[in-house]
Structures are given as structure tokens and as C-alpha cells.
Copies of this chain bind each other. A is one copy, B any other.
Amino acid sequence: MELISERGYRRTSLAAVAERAGLTQQGLLHHFPTKELLLVGVLEARDRWDLASAAAYSGASSTDTLAQLVDYNATRPAIVQTYTVLSADSVTEDHPARDFFESRFRTVRESMAAALRAEFGDTLPGGLTPDQAAPLMVAVMDGLQLQWLLDPEKVDMPASFRDFLALLGRDAGQDDGRETP
């Protein structure tokens, strides 16, 4: 993760990771046979840490926790870049990370649906169920990351994510004079 932050996704090589980790390249390849699988390992570790942070961040609604996660992501563009590139790349034929992402998206949609149900009940604005809103929430997070990585001056990812929460009926928590219909 250090190397990705320093060099970006493209320029992080297995050789450099082996050197930083104090392993031979063969030793690293024993654990992670390809760069893609190494990066999947990095993203799995990030998911575990983020889950632990979310569990530690008590006393707030789950959408608050998600908004905090988006805030945090805005401070770590290199790992967001890795996630964005690798998740998109995984849709290509026979990609080694395809199973990881297919399974991760199913899990994330289910846990978001459960969180939305706990916070909003069975009916959200527009008559949506939590199961219908969950893939939209995931899509907004992923799609905003792409726009923000390309154009951080024009796209305020944390503010845009809160705009989406306002669509779901959350008070934006901003004293900006806007009325919620």
C-alpha cells in the first residue's frame, strides 16, 4: 500500500514490493503469483481495516459511517485508483480478480441493503426498497470515485456522496438554507 501511494497503480512492480517487504521475488510469487492477485490482497486488507474502523465508529447511523468512509477515501487517491482500475479490469475475459469482485459486490450490496433497512425501514423515497437502493448506493460510490480521480478540482466526492444521501431522505446536515421537500 505504501508503494502504491508513492508510485501509483501502474508503476508498482512485484520486484519493488518484494524489495520493500524484504522478500525475494520468488518468495513473494509464492504468496501472490501475479500482480493482479497481489493487488486483490491489498484491497482485501483495506476492506478488513475499513470494516474494523466502521465497527469502532459507534453511535452514528450507517450512512454516516459510509459518508466518513468516502471522506477517508478522498485522502487516499492511490488506493482508490487501484480499486477503480482493478475492479473495471476484472470484467475482462478470464481475469484473475473477477471472482473476488463478483463476490465482493454481492456482499457489499447485501450489507448496504441491511444497513438501509435498519436506518430507513422498508420504503425509501421514490417507493424504493432497500434492496433496490443498495446497488444504486454502490454505483454512486464507484462512479464518483472515477469522476473524482479524473478531475479532483471539479468533483467534490464527499459532498456529492452526501447529496445522494439527501436523495435517500437523510438531512444533509448543512445549514445552507435548502429546503427538503
A-to-B contact residues, CB < 8 Å: 8-11, 81, 84-85, 87-93, 98, 101-102, 105-106, 109, 123-128, 132-133, 135-136, 138-144, 146-147, 149-151, 154-155, 160, 163-164, 166-169, 172, 178-181
14 A–B contacts, CB within 8 A, in A order: A10-B92, A84-B88, A85-B88, A88-B146, A89-B89, A91-B146, A105-B150, A106-B154, A109-B147, A125-B125, A125-B126, A126-B163, A133-B163, A135-B147
Given contacts A132-B160, A140-B139, contact A81 B87 (CB under 8 A): no
Question: Which residue of B85, B91, B138, B166 contacts A126 across the interface (Cβ within 8 Å)?
Answer: B166
Nearest chain-B residue to A132 (Cβ)? B163
Question: Which residue of B81, B127, B163 contacts A180 across the interface (Cβ within 8 Å)?
Answer: B127
Nearest chain-B residue to A157 (Cβ)? B135
Q: Do residues B135 and A155 form an inter-chain contact, with CB atoms below 8 A?
A: yes
